[in-house]
Amino acid sequence: MTLSRENGTNATAASTYEANGVLLQFGSMMVRSGSTATRARVWIKLIAKKIGFDAISVSVSLDCITVSGSHSGGPVTEMRNIGPPGINAYRIAELERLAKSLVSGASPGEIAEKLAGIEATPPLYSSIPIAVAVGAASGGFAFLSGAAMPEMAAAAIGGGGGQWLRLWLSRRQFNHYGGAAVCAIVASGVYVLAAALASFLGFGFSHYAAGFIASVLFLVPGVPLIAGLFDLLQYQTVAGMSRTAYGAMILLTVGLGLSIVVAVAGVDVSRQPPFELSYPSRVLLRAVASFVAGGAFAMLFNSPARAVLAAGLLALVANDVRLFLNDMGMMLAPATFLAALTIGIVALLLEQRFDISLMATTVSPIIIMMPGLYAFETIVLFNHGEMSKALQAGASCGFVIGALAMGLATSRFFQQRMT
């Protein structure tokens, strides 16, 4: 009898640890793919309920996840490293669909098998299409920053080359911070070389600084910064602070790389008046640039084709509304808040009506509104000792990032009313 009881106890313990391991695997895949800690906790608790947990507690940071619970009468607490952070909208969508589709009493072994299948799914796009898309987005950023065609072309070449290098370094597990600095040097350096070649051929750059900074805007860590602020608003302090710190460090290393090129090439980063166009033409071209940039980032985040289209259209509408309100005299921060609120609400509707990933349609349009221009100006101006201008650019950057996070957070109140 004693042997039978011990065997039964061991079997129960094995079942408990297997079930808890599934929750850890699911949670680490969610967070590693770019999901907020808040959303990961929601889905982990849903799965835990379906596989027989009596109670569950989840703690998430940038690099590890801890799950404590009671299953089959036995308590269990385990921790797992998450691994290097990234962004994969397709994987997040598949994980959420898996959590929704599970029936009560599902086997942990079956769930683990499905998770392994999701993790083994290759990216939807190869390096070349993504690099081309990001190059086009960099050209769009240059136009939105006030640049003309020569600067847009040079920014596209620099951004595309920098993105290809970033993917190459990522596949070889290069340190994220070092990789960001190297990619910033390469992207902005290619821009400088392209500008020099264009000048030699007789094409002058009258809006040099706008295109120069646009060439590295694809490196702005918008997802960690926005996700970190959103987690802070949801009382996920550990996850929020670690993500925000990671985003800030990436931003600083990119700024370091940019500053090196500024010092070597003697680039003047002072802002210039935007390229002169009639207002209807400007609005139309801003819409095109926003659509291209939003769709490009959706591709970068591994979103399916229809999510890429939806993200591009949502970016077109929201960013044009934001810029129009700013043109009409509204301060940039409140205009950005209204645009982010619009994105959040429409993204929720798209998820409910058309089953399009919330991650794909939210993050990509938000990213193109990140104040990367102000962020890099702040770093470069501080580096040049222009404290007053640097503080002004830094304050503008902080207000806009906060407005983006608050707009998305406010949209979640509508989610509660619609569900």
Backbone angles phi, psi at 131, to 5 degrees: -65, -40
69 backbone φψ class: left, alpha, beta (φ>0; ψ -120 to 50): beta
With CA atoms as reference, report the closest residue to 122 among 171, 63, 81.
171
Q: pLDDT by residue for the chain (419 residues), tens digit each?
A: 333 334 444 445 557 778 888 999 999 999 999 888 888 999 999 999 888 888 788 888 888 898 888 876 668 888 888 888 888 999 999 999 999 888 888 888 899 999 999 999 999 999 999 999 999 999 999 998 888 888 999 999 999 999 999 999 988 888 899 999 999 999 999 999 998 888 888 777 777 788 888 899 899 888 888 888 888 888 888 888 998 899 989 988 998 898 899 888 888 777 777 777 888 888 899 999 999 999 999 999 999 999 999 999 999 999 999 999 999 999 999 999 999 999 989 988 888 888 887 877 888 898 888 887 788 778 778 877 778 888 888 888 888 988 988 888 888 776 654 44
Q: Which residues are within 8 A (CB) of 315 and not within 5 positions of it... i.e. 6 or more apart?
A: 290, 291, 293, 294, 295, 364, 365, 368
Cβ–Cβ < 8 Å for 193, 232: no
Output 117-126 pairs: Cβ under 8 A, ≥24 positions apart. 118/29, 118/91, 118/94, 119/29, 119/91, 121/90, 121/91, 121/94, 123/88, 123/302, 124/90, 124/302, 124/303, 124/304, 125/299, 125/302
With CA atoms as reference, report the closest residue to 93 among 48, 124, 68.
124
Q: Please tell me the predicted confidence (pLDDT) of residue 267.
A: 81
